[in-house]
Homo-oligomer: A and B are copies of this chain.
Amino acid sequence: MTTAKRDTYTPETLLTVAVRVFNDRGYDGTSMEHLSKAAGISKSSIYHHVAGKEELLRRAVSRALDGLFGVLDEPGAVRGRSIERVEYVTRRTVEVLMAELPYVTLLLRVRGNTKTERWAMERRREFDQRVADLLKAAVADGDLRADLDIRLATRLLFGMVNSLVEWYRPQREGEADGAQVADTVVRMAFDGLRTGH
């Protein structure tokens, strides 16, 4: 028996614990027992807050998705030339990813074994598609090069952005801050590393 502490969790604080465990063990590899041990409360206390681990997953990936889709409704994403909109969305996507690091990490790792995971993957594809559409519009405007396959370029752009969940550690000594990372991503992706443009 683990010694259960008094249950002072809210659904929100319980979520923080659950996301850490999901990211450490994988969602599939996490049982209610693991969650109970990590939270230091009994399984029945957890069931008092949520219906089960799939609800915790849904809440966690919803937080990441709400952050990402929220960007698409911001003024900078809906007004102006497509090229400015797509650079804005890229910068803000990086910022949301860093602000919601554990939640976006979980979102990027779901594999589609449950209904909630498949829904999350579908929403993620929808977000990628919205960004790909913006890139296409900027190509049509003549602001982005037409000689690159947009589907491929979108994947590489997200490959670059999403790699942050693998190596960005805000607590690490000398780690770049959020604004610097966002700026480097945008300049590298849109202007490239070469001088003399």
A189 to B166, alpha carbons, bound, how many Å? 19
Cβ contacts under 8 Å, A194 to chain B: 83, 143-145, 190-192, 197
This chain: copies in complex: 2
Q: Are A156 and B163 in contact (CB under 8 A)?
A: yes
Selected contact of A149 from candidates B160, B167, B184, CB within 8 Å: B184
- With A143-B195, A193-B189, A195-B143 known to touch, is A163 a contact of B158 (CB < 8 Å)? yes
Main SS of the interface on chain A? helix
Cβ contacts under 8 Å, A144 to chain B: 193-195
Q: Which residues of A contact B (CB under 8 A)?
A: 83, 135, 142-149, 152-153, 155-164, 166-167, 176, 180-181, 184-185, 187-197
